[in-house]
Amino acid sequence: MKSRSSSRSHLLAVLLPLAALSIVLLAPGRAKADEPPVIPRPLEIERGDSRLEIARTFLVPAGDAEARAVAMILAHDLEQDGLGSFDVKESPDARTRGAFVLTREKADVALGAEGYTLEVDGWNAVLRATHRPGFFRGTQTVRQLVSVIGETASLPCMTVRDRPRFTWRGMHLDVCRHFFPVEFVKRYIDLLAYHKMNVFHFHLTEDQGWRIEIDGYPRLTEVGAWRSDGKGGRYGGFYTRDQIREIVAYAADRSIMVVPEIELPGHSLAALAAYPEISCTGGPFEVGTEWGVYEDVYCAGNEATFEFLTSVLDEVIPLFPAPFFHIGGDECPKTRWKECERCQKRILAEGLEDEHELQSWFVRRISEHLTRNGKRLIGWDEILEGGLAPGATVMSWRGVVGGIAAARKGHDVVMSPTSHCYFDYRQSDLEDEPGAFAIIDLEKVYSFEPVPIELTADEARHVLGAQGNVWTERIPSRSRVEFMSVPRMSALAEVVWSAPERRNWSDFTRRLLPVLQRLDGRDVAYRVPEPTGLAARTVFTGDSMIVLLEPPLHGALVRFTLDGSEPTDQSPLATDRIEIRGDARLRARTYLPSGRASLVRSALFEKQVPRPAVDPGLVMPGLRYRAFAGSFESVPDVSTAEEDAGGALLRVEIPPSPPEGGFALELEGWVDVPEGGVWTFFLTSDDGSRLEIGGETVVDNDGPHAARERTGAIALSRGLHPLRVLYFQAGGASALKLEWQGPHQPREVVPDDRLVRNR
């Protein structure tokens, strides 16, 4: 798999050895340009040389209720897409010229329940499938390809043979942190259907809200569904049982399975606010108003807890026909259990080792109840801790390690790692980009491979598929859900549907624009990819430099300004070479034919004279470091910190034995530059870091965050230059790495023999 640094072909910076230093940004690849634009890419697709005009009436065999129902939804979808009205009727004559026919006749049974074939020739169009899901998946291909001009509808002549790679192709929606009405949930399901997804993970309970009506426990919605809005009012809502049935039926019509999540034993503060007697302390509690993890959870030593939970499950189970039932199981603090007399008695009575085994016992008890009711338990990968319940399915979110461990034990797995599948994460490093934590851009999602190479073929069969998650702590509106979901959902859809050998990033960018434009008729607030490949700061040393801009998607345009103002639809088009002479601020924005625009990508161009080298005298390999114990939230001023340890390191990295808990580091020495010119540095850290050369900040990667990379450039003469790296660790994972790339040198970790310190 290509690295992110090497696979960006749509706006790739290339230095040219001209009189003026140049940057060339290359256009998307044109591979398979004759293939119709369909996402996810079908198993087999071959295009003919013409188009077929089709009648506005879909034909289905007499008595085939499933084919008729799917055809009715297709007609409705096309009208909602803004393509006018289509009818459905039964007809015994499937060879009518210009007809569009849905039939089981001569269907390819080898394609399975979700597979289909679509044949469009000069006579008519025929969609074949053995089961309703196959019919429905095929109609979504038709939705993406049908063209209407006036009253004339047409399809490209082609032959498609298609089936999905994975059985679990999911999207999640958190309606607890922010509540969304039934009509929007249906709209979200429509987006899943359009992308041939087949699982809707419905996250219904949380610390910040209980969202499903339970007859036996009315206070769950009277109290637990509402929280303070911080302005003297209250915020919330819930779904009635009838509304749940309506959502489930709507999804089923589109061959989508709805998997409910009732969170336990943690993330349960909303339930405890309604029924404090099932907590360890007895409360009182308020529904959560802050994001994060709360210490108060269901009491594992209280039998009333299990009476409550089994009664709740008994009401929820009949509402969801899906074989899977999600119980969460993540982020459950053990603080209250350690202090609770009843929980400690439970540990002794059950012969458990500790509170981790108590959680496992808790989950197994719930799993047994679900099994008796014909359901399979699925939970986040924390359910591995203390032992996995028999038959449990693991949803691996803390990377893929939990999924690997579960598959090796013979348990089914759904891959949903934060590295690729968390769609509440930021999509770029732009200042006005919404979201939090690390950056998961479109190409990052597309690069995901759900089956880890560590698994054997037998173990890999336990990987059911993958899922994208939309947590809504920072997503308060319907339009923001769509902005964060699409087109990352488009990329994930291809990952879980199409075979690896059928996936190609350049070709995906060629097909994406027409697929997105079909959503314009429904006013979906999808995110337009911004021009990429422009560094926030670019340094050059020649008289000038040339920039060539091309759009990130085939068929889009890029407009720009050089005076620092925001580009508009009247700004110059980036259709020719842009000459930069001296310091300048280039701002660029992608525009689609519809007029939709991306966020603005800003690039500062700075002309520099190479910084002179210095002579520090006698030196030896490595950098000096000082370590400081303490709690830090940003790169510290180490001059005021109390040193805890020190020593030498051969490269920029975390020492073998750093202080326990939070700490900071300062690494100092010189970097030996082998060639004069512009040098780009890549600083990766978890948490914050900063790179200084000659006292100038070159890379700023400050603040608490997951592992992320930041870059910067500086013009340096050949020889030694003072180097200083600051770093802090605020808890959790840790990482620190420095790479560089020179005028005629590929990107690499700064070599050990290029870092020196005083003797």
- On the question of pLDDT at 641 being above 90, the answer is no
Please give the average per-residue pLDDT across 153-175, as a whole number: 97
Model confidence pLDDT, tens digit, residues 36-91: 999 999 999 999 889 999 999 999 999 999 999 999 999 999 999 999 999 999 98
Mean pLDDT on 147-165: 95
Q: State what percent of residues in the chain have pLDDT above 70.
A: 95
What are the pLDDT digits (tens) for 185-213? 999 999 999 999 999 999 999 999 999 99
What sections of 373-521 are H helices per DSSP?
401-408, 442-446, 457-460, 478-485, 488-497, 505-517
331 is catalytic: yes
**Each residue of 656-692: pLDDT tens digit?**
988 888 899 999 999 999 999 999 999 999 999 999 9
* Pick among 3.40.1260.10, 3.30.70.141, 3.40.640.10, 3.30.379.10: CATH of 44-162: 3.30.379.10
User: Taking Cα atoms as reference points, which of 27, 16, 23, 24 lies closest to residue 538?
Assistant: 23
What pLDDT is stored for residue 639 in this prediction?
A: 66
Q: Is 523 exposed, middle or buried (0-12, 13-18, 19+ CB in 10 A)?
A: exposed
Task: Give this prediction's pTM.
Answer: 0.88
> pLDDT tens digits for 713-744?
999 999 999 999 999 998 878 899 999 999 98
Q: What is the phi-psi region of residue 255: left when phi exceeds 0, alpha when psi lies from -120 to 50, beta otherwise?
A: left
Specify the range with the lowest mean pLDDT, choosing from 63-72, 363-372, 502-511, 698-707.
Answer: 698-707
Averaged confidence pLDDT in the chain: 92
pLDDT of residue 662: 86
Tell me the per-residue pLDDT of 546-593, one tens digit each, with 9 for 90 and over. 888 889 999 999 999 998 899 999 999 998 888 999 899 999 999 999
Fold held by 619-758: Jelly Rolls (2.60.120)
Q: pLDDT tens, 447-457?
A: 999 999 999 99
Output phi, psi for 681, to 5 deg: -115, 140
Examine the pLDDT at 114 and tell me if it is beyond 80: yes
pLDDT-derived band of residue 388, with 50, 70 and 90 as boundaries? confident
pLDDT (mean) for 309-336: 97
Query: Domain ranges in the chain?
Result: 4-31+529-603, 44-162, 168-522, 619-758
Q: From 3.20.20.80, 3.90.1150.10, 3.30.2290.10, 3.40.50.1100, which CATH number describes the 168-522 domain?
A: 3.20.20.80
Alpha helices in 254-388 (DSSP H): 269-274, 303-316, 335-339, 341-349, 355-372
- The residue among 308 and 150 whose pLDDT is bigger is 308
> pLDDT at position 406, please?
96
Q: Catalytic residue among 295, 331, 449, 668, which? A: 331
What number is the average pLDDT over the span 599-605?
93
Which residue from 267, 756, 277, 192 is spatially nearest to 493, judged by alpha carbons? 192
